[in-house]
Structure 1
Amino acid sequence: MADDEHHLQESPVESVLENLVEKIHRHDSSSSSSSDSDDDKKSPLSPSMKNKVFRLFGREKPVYKVLGGGKPADVLLWRNKKISGGILGTATAVWILFELMEYHLLALVCHFLIVALAVLFLWSNATMFINKSPPRIPEFYIPEEPVVQVASALTIEINRAFSILREIASGRDLKKFLSVIAGLWVLSIVGSWCNFLTLFYIAFVLLHTVPVMYEKYEDQVDAFSEKAWIEIKKQYAVFDAKVLSKFPRGPLKDKKV
């Protein structure tokens, strides 16, 4: 009887403990299921978030592919530092020679030919005096295939530029027309500050520095350009509403009855 009374006294306590344990297990299972469901909801959004990342000029390819890949991209992105440094150093030496020292192209070509002919003449006479046989001067010639490829590429790019200018002049896109006019105006101002050689050298240096720096700090530049692009779009919307909307878009068409 004592055992039965003791069992009856402990049973309410045990039942309360069992209820608490069951509630804890239910809470853990519900929280784990909710976290799993949240993960399932977040997982399909991650690819879309990645696709919505803002890239400068709306590019979808890496910088290496945008530059065309191959050896030109390797040079511009400093994949081979010796070749890139050598090309940039040669361009700097040419700019210093013609711009700072005020050397002229015709004088440079003539002086180079004088030195080359003098060296070859002395070398051939010294060889004949020592070996008693005329030396064989190496032949120099320009291969035809690379010249044809360069000329073909230049022709394609020039024709493409002419077609773009023709499309802009047709008056179909007022935004593109105004942007080109503004760009040419800025370029004319920069051209009045310096001559063509200095302008070409500045463009050459920028082409060898800006892509590699952009590739290194790509995320920071894209984030800043996104904010700037949003602000430009807001200002253009205001300008369009106040100014551009008052201009006629094109010839009026006859209304159909």
Structure 2
Amino acid sequence: MHSLLEWLSSHGVVESLIYWRDPKKSGPVFGGVLVVLLALTYFSLISVVAYLSLIGLSVTVAFRIYKNIVQAVQKTGDGHPFKDLLDLDISLSQDKVREVSEVAVAHINAAVVELRRLFLVEDLVDSIKFGVLLWTLTYLGAWFNGMTLIIIAWVALFTLPKVYETNKTQIDANLEIVRTKLAEISSK
């Protein structure tokens, strides 16, 4: 998983999607994931996966039948239209699975140690800060459900960077005003 993220970031794939460098690529990614998230808000995960799989199967069967008809009419021997995809090796290597699971276990262990430290009040100030965060999350949970927050985050991910990029000078000027006001208030 790390290597995929590293590859994506090194090739600028994520940045080009988020900043809408190529709207023909960003649009389907944004819209497709948004449709799936909205579907998950109204239907169960099993239904969404089943319907998406059924749509995918219908498209590939229709494409295969179309290619067979074209081959029969033109009398060509092109073969299976998905031959290249069928020949791809998609198996997971033991080393990659071990590497990903080791990273996941390390993160889980770190989280458990930190939660133990916070819940058992090793440091009073940190535990109180954590309590305030949990209290704030109760209000956030009362206003929004988790799927709504994920949808808002997804839309923000695809809109805020582009808005900042186009209005950088105005936003930076206003943020500087806010920073100076906060500095004044905190100094008093």
The aligned counterpart of 1:206 is 156
1:158/1:126 Cα in 2 relative to 1: closer, same or farther (>3 Å)?
A: same
1:135/1:116 Cα in 2 relative to 1: closer, same or farther (>3 Å)?
A: same
CA distance in 2, matches of 1:114, 1:77: 29
CA distance in 2, matches of 1:191, 1:169: 21
Correspondence 1:186 to 2:136: yes
DSSP-derived class of the 1:177 partner? helix
CA deviation after TM superposition for structure 1 residue 197, in Å:
2.2
Correspondence 1:118 to 2:72: no
Runs of at least 5 residues in structure 1 that lack an aligned partner in the other structure: 1-68, 235-257
Structure index of larger Rg: 1
1:94/1:135 Cα in 2 relative to 1: closer, same or farther (>3 Å)?
A: same
Q: How many residues align?
A: 164
Contact kept in structure 1, 2:20 and 2:162, CA below 8 Å = no
Picking from 135, 142, 167, the partner of 2:79 is 135
1:182/1:160 Cα in 2 relative to 1: closer, same or farther (>3 Å)?
A: same
Question: Counterparts of 1:1-257 in structure 2 under 5 Å?
Answer: 70=10, 71=12, 74-75=15-16, 78=19, 80=21, 82=23, 83-99=25-41, 102=43, 104-123=47-66, 125-127=68-70, 129-130=72-73, 131=75, 133=77, 135-136=79-80, 137-138=82-83, 139-140=85-86, 142=90, 144=92, 148=97, 154-210=104-160, 216=168, 217-225=171-179, 227-228=181-182, 231=185
Identity of aligned residues (%): 22
Structure with greater helix percent: 2
Amino acid at match of 1:129: A
CA distance in 1, matches of 2:61, 2:144: 37
Output the aligned Cα RMSD.
4.0
Deviations 1:216-238 (A, max 9, x none): 2235324414533664687xxxx
CA distance in 1, matches of 2:100, 2:162: 25
DSSP-derived class of the 2:122 partner? coil
1:115/1:96 Cα in 2 relative to 1: closer, same or farther (>3 Å)?
A: same
CA deviation after TM superposition for structure 1 residue 202, in Å:
1.4
